[in-house]
Structure 1
Amino acid sequence: MAAPLDKVLARLDRVKPAGKSRWRAQCPVHDGHSLQVTEADDGKVLFKCWGCDAPAAEICRALGLELRDLFPYDPALRSIPSRPRLTAELREQLALDRWLGHICLYDLFLDRPVSDRDLDCAATAFNRLRRYRPHFFDEAARVHRLEVSR
């Protein structure tokens, strides 16, 4: 398997060494000779275009590469389970869970009685949201702070 730097340098034009672990090349995004390529100590490849300031994803796309091609292959990372994909049904359920969470919190905020069944449903919804949408809790805390400050 080729090193990330070898893959990148093979696809660039007008490559010149520019120091230890650094090269200058023609930027594939805007064709100026202002792209700096650096190999980090851990083997990953870093880009900086001083002409167009293109993000690494755009430079990779112009070279026919993906962002993962900039990193050395690490078999240990393959064993990390990925987060499950969100199906359309799960997205819909999460939207309903979010509304249920808002309604339950609003009822509790107004000291309205909430049944045990509703609390169980809300707990299930919150657990699902915590797993798939952790940022929901940041938003809920922000809304709560706004309500309390009024």
Structure 2
Amino acid sequence: PNVHNLEYMSLIYFVGDNPAPLRGADVSNALIELLTITKWGMLDFLVMDMPPGIGDAILDLIRLVKRLEFLIVTTPSLLAFETVKKQVSLLCELKMPLIGLVENMKLDRATGIAVETEELGIKYLGTIPFDPEVEEAIGNTSKLLDTAFAQKIQKIAEVIILSKMRDP
């Protein structure tokens, strides 16, 4: 599918409304199939939304995809950030490039995640505030693009793209 010049693919097209509890080799096989059967065409970027932490899917991506870079997205929970620390540690150990970190669904002005991110030596790219309008906009692309959520994502994407243009 292509929406507003953005091509995307989802496992949902394979499983429909059925639950898809994948484990171990099934996760790897689904990921490999998704990557190989999809006709991506010429892409500037391929963004993949992956489950948190380090599991088979991430390790498979590292093994299969060349020129891979990671953008870490976390919630504003210091508990969730413990998983991020482990993920970053492994990615650094594997010498995987890290684009930076985005704090998603932020509700207040707390700076704990930003400070922790900088202490890890990762670029803190900003926050995406919790936006209740997103739920109402699901299914309506134009309305979704008008949300504060979408505008913030666009700003963060511009920062990433500009940094890639400066340091290809």
**Interval of TM-score (by shorter of Structure 1 and Structure 2):** under 0.3
Q: Larger % of helix: which?
A: 1
TM-score (norm 2): 0.21
Looking at CA atoms only, which structure, 1 or 2, has the larger radius of gyration?
A: 1
TM-score by length of 1: 0.22
